[in-house]
Amino acid sequence: EAQVTQNPRYLITVTGKKLTVTCSQNMNHEYMSWYRQDPGLGLRQIYYSMNVEVTDKGDVPEGYKVSRKEKRNFPLILESPSPNQTSLYFCASSLRGSRGYTFGSGTRLTVV
Amino acid sequence: SQELEQSPQSLIVQEGKNLTINCTSSKTLYGLYWYKQKYGEGLIFLMMLQKGGEEKSHEKITAKLDEKKQQSSLHITASQPSHAGIYLCGAGGTQGGSEKLVFGKGTKLTVNP
């Protein structure tokens, strides 16, 4: 089944403890992206990648890192999480020139 | 940067009623996407519009992009409880590509049986 898989679905962590949220797609999509969703602010793009080894900042990249070493994987790294990074995170992928992203099911992150 | 404003923010309708959700852009739209989200879950792609005046339908949902390509509407005919959720419009970059998609804040739809 064609899909975008994020792990974990739920995560509670403490301030400053490094964490990685994984994202994998099996559709051979070139584009991948990370979004966070917050009440009243909607979906905001964190980082996106147009292909392997090509990444660029979205609208809210501060406090996040990404890497794209393989086409199928696009992990989101929080080196030193803070409570303001508590949010619902979505990974998405898209075929070049296609009709929009396929989204993962989301990762609900709580930083205490 | 491009901003999308959706209206209304929330909508409560009785089952069987028609409804319309609007999405207005601060800049010309080169690619307009409509998604549906169940609470706390991922987004499901509904439709994409690119040309001024374009209209697409899927089951009881119709989306239109105006001629000036700055406003889109999503119309649901004879709403059902299964239509409940959050509807989001998204706009691609200047080339219409999906790599740098920005979203409106969403419209929460409740359909009462």
Q: In which element (H, E) is residue B74 found?
A: strand B71-76
Chain B residues with beta carbon closer than 8 angstroms to that of A31: 97-99
- Per-residue pLDDT band for B100 (boundaries 50, 70, 90) equals confident
Gap from A18 CA to chain B (nearest CA, Å): 24
User: Which of B56, B98, B108 to mutate: most A Cβ within 10 Å?
Assistant: B98
Cα A97–chain centre separation: 21
Tell me the average pLDDT of chain B.
89
Q: Say whether pLDDT at B104 is over 80.
A: yes
Give chain A's residues under pLDDT 50: none
Distance CA A104, CA A96 (A): 18
Q: What is the pLDDT of residue B28?
A: 82
Q: What is the pLDDT of residue A99?
A: 64
Buried/exposed code over B80-106 (b: 16+ C-beta within 10 A; e: otherwise):
eeebbbbbbbbbbeeeebbbbbbbbbb
Q: Does A31 contact B103 at a Cβ distance shorter than 8 Å?
A: no
Burial of residue A23 (CB within 10 Å: 0-12, 13-18, 19+) is buried
Q: Which of B90, B99, B104 sits opposite A31 (nearest CB)?
A: B99
Task: Say if residues B97 and B80 touch (Cβ distance below 8 Å).
Answer: no
Tokens 């929460």 locate to B108
- For A103, which of B42, B99, B106 is closest by C-beta distance? B42
pLDDT tens by residue, A58-83: 889 999 999 999 999 999 999 999 99
Looking at residue B97, its pLDDT comes to 54
Question: Cα separation of B49 and B65, whole Å?
Answer: 6
Q: Which pLDDT band holds residue B79 (cuts at 50, 70, 90)? A: very high
pLDDT in tens, B7-62: 999 999 999 999 999 999 988 887 889 999 987 788 999 999 988 899 999 889 99
B72: chain A residues, CB-CB within 8 Å: none
pLDDT at B95 over 60: no
Q: Do B98 and A100 touch (CB under 8 A)?
A: yes
Please give the pLDDT value at position A98: 63
Chain B neighbors of A104, CB-CB under 8 A:
42
Task: Report the C-alpha gap between B41 and B32 in whole angstroms.
Answer: 21
Interstrand relation of B71-76 and B85-91 (parallel, antiparallel or unpaired): unpaired
pLDDT, position B74: 98
Hey, are the CB atoms on A106 and B48 less than 8 Å from each other?
Answer: no
d(CA A95, CA B50): 17
Which residues in chain B have their CB less than 8 angstroms from residue A44's CB?
103
User: If we measure between CA atoms, which residue out of B95, B40, B24, B84 comes closest to residue A50?
Assistant: B95
Angstrom distance (rounded) from CA B44 to CA B32: 14
Q: Closest-CA residue in chain B for A30? A: B99
- Decide if pLDDT at B5 tops 90: yes
**pLDDT value of residue B81:** 95
- How far does the CA of residue B90 sit from the closest CA of chain A (Å)? 9
